[in-house]
């Protein structure tokens, strides 16, 4: 799951070192330095990649890798 997310966030990251070490505790904004408009793009790309819909309430928590995985698994089940 982390690997799949890694491919999705790659175009938007601004910290290469943090990206190389990306793991469940990585924060999209504080660590990867993804800007918040691009974080909305990440959410759209996640929707496409997993064929799910992330409502705005779930999107509120899409700030780090572990939350993203939790939300994706929730929507897939």
Closest distance of CB 53 from other proteins, Å:
10
The token duo for 62 is 């899409």
> Which residues lie near other proteins (CB under 8 A)?
14, 30, 33, 35-37, 39-41, 43-44, 47, 56, 59-63
Closest distance of CB 74 from other proteins, Å:
16
Report d(CA 40, CA 60) in Å as an integer: 10
Nearer to other proteins, 18 or 39 (CB): 39
Burial of 65 (0-12, 13-18, 19+ CB in 10 A): buried
Closest distance of CB 41 from other proteins, Å:
7
């Amino acid at each position: 799951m982390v690997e799949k997310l890694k491919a999705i966030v790659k175009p938007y990251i601004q910290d290469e070192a943090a990206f190389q070490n990306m793991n469940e505790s990585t924060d999209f904004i504080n660590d990867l330095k993804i800007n918040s408009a691009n974080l909305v793009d990440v959410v759209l790309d996640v929707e496409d990649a997993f064929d799910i819909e992330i409502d705005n309430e779930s999107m509120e928590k899409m700030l780090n890798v572990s939350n993203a995985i939790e939300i994706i698994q929730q929507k897939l089940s």
